[in-house]
Structure 1
Amino acid sequence: MDRVTKLASQNAVVIFSKSSCCMSHAVKRLFYEQGVSPEIYELDEESRGKEMECALTRLGCQPSVPAVFIGGKFVGSANTVMTLHLNGSLKKLLKDAGALWL
């Protein structure tokens, strides 16, 4: 858990993902299209990926990926991020975290 929270707080936007997950791919693409360069941790490529995945599940992320952190705070998974994007709230979160300047 400590590793996940530490990594999540080191960048404005952090995504815990799996390289084979289509929803992770969609969320990453959404951020790139917004002009944001998130820090991405592919759990299936991390040496402690399984441990990190268990920590994300304990944080309440179901399914465990993608797990999105903005400004060091857990935002949610794909459904939450897409909802924030559609209702216009995502841009404000990104601006407040320093991930967007426009």
Structure 2
Amino acid sequence: MDRVTKLASQSAAVVFSKSSCCMSHVIKRFFYELGVNPAIHELDEEYRGREMEMALLKLGCNPAVPAVFIGGKFIGSTQKVMALHINGSLIPLLKEAGAIWL
């Protein structure tokens, strides 16, 4: 859990992902199109990826990936990110965290 928390707080936007996960790909692509350059942590390529996946599940992210953190705060998975975007909350949240400067 400490490793996840530490990594999540090191960048304005962080995505915990798996290289084979289609929804992780969707979130990464979506952020890039918004002009966000998130820190990406591919759990299937990380030395302690399985432990980090279990920590994400304990945080309430089910499925464990993609798990999105903005400003060090756990946001959620694809559904939550898209809901924030639809209701107009995502861009201000990214601006506040310093992830974009639109």
Shorter-normalised TM-score: what interval?
over 0.9
Helix, strand or coil for the counterpart of 1:52? helix
Is 1:55 aligned to 2:60, yes or no?
A: no
Could you state the TM-score of these two structures normalised by the residue count of structure 2? 0.99
Could you tell me which residue of structure 1 aligns to residue 23 of structure 2?
23
Tell me the distance in 1 between the aligned counterparts of 2:23 and 2:35.
Answer: 19
Tell me the distance in 2 between the aligned counterparts of 1:86 and 1:21.
Answer: 23
Could you tell me which residue of structure 2 aligns to residue 35 of structure 1?
35
Could you tell me which residue of structure 2 aligns to residue 97 of structure 1?
97
Could you tell me which residue of structure 1 aligns to residue 46 of structure 2?
46
In structure 2, the gaps of 5 or more residues are none
| Structure 1 runs (4+) greater than 3 angstroms displaced | none
1:9 aligned partner, one-letter code:
S
Q: CA deviation at 1:76?
A: 0.3
Tell me the distance in 2 between the aligned counterparts of 1:96 and 1:15.
Answer: 17
Could you list the per-position Cα deviations for residues 37-62 of structure 1 after superposition, in whole angstroms to 9, with x for gaps in the alignment? 00000000001000000000000001
Could you state the TM-score of these two structures normalised by the residue count of structure 1? 0.99
Q: CA deviation at 1:86?
A: 1.4
Tell me the distance in 2 between the aligned counterparts of 1:68 and 1:27.
Answer: 9
Helix, strand or coil for the counterpart of 2:32? helix
Aligned residues: 102
Could you tell me which residue of structure 2 aligns to residue 8 of structure 1?
8
